[in-house]
Structure 1
Amino acid sequence: MQAFILIQTEVGKAASIASEILEIPGVRTSEDVVGPYDVVVRVCADEIPPVVQEIRRVPGVTRTLTCDIPEKSASKN
């Protein structure tokens, strides 16, 4: 299973939170971005909910939105 997790953080913490999240097993990429969300994470794991729970435990994370990627989705990576 794969998903994108869109994350809102406390002000000024996006970069440090993105780095911390990258250490969570199952997280493939973690980038701080500009827009309505502060961090975008790509997850590849057998089960997505446990990874999301770990992300929500990171201090400074205020909200998450999970976007599942269909298995037949096209990608260059």
Structure 2
Amino acid sequence: MEVVQVKAYVLINASPGRAIDVAERIKGQEGVVGADAITGEYDVIAVCEAPDVNQVGRVIVEKIQKVEGVFKTITCLVVK
């Protein structure tokens, strides 16, 4: 039986000059599949996966938003 995972893209605004550092710190967090510094309106994009929406929220609040240099996040849940 396949375990269903909820997937989300998290768009992150970082403090000036901190995008690469924020992406590197987020990459090692549990529930974060990947993170990259990007150009454009947002500084970092992270991909999160968890068993349910509540766990995705927990990853964002406890693992991403607490990283030094993270200023703001926007979460986009994947609907397939």
Q: TM-score, normalised by structure 2?
A: 0.86
Cα RMSD over matched residues? 0.6
* 1:11-70 Cα distance to aligned partner (Å, 9 max, x none): 110001100000110101100000110000010112201110120000110000000001
Aligned-residue identity in percent = 31
Count of aligned pairs between the two proteins: 71
For residue 52 of structure 1, what is the amino acid of its counterpart? I
Structure 1 runs of 4+ with >4 Å offset = none
Q: Secondary structure at the match of 2:77?
A: strand
Q: Secondary structure at the match of 2:65?
A: helix
Instruction: Give unmatched runs, 5+ long, in structure 1.
Output: none
For residue 50 of structure 1, what is the amino acid of its counterpart? R
Q: Which residue of 2 aligns with 1:12?
A: 17
Q: TM-score, normalised by structure 1?
A: 0.89
Q: Secondary structure at the match of 2:23?
A: helix
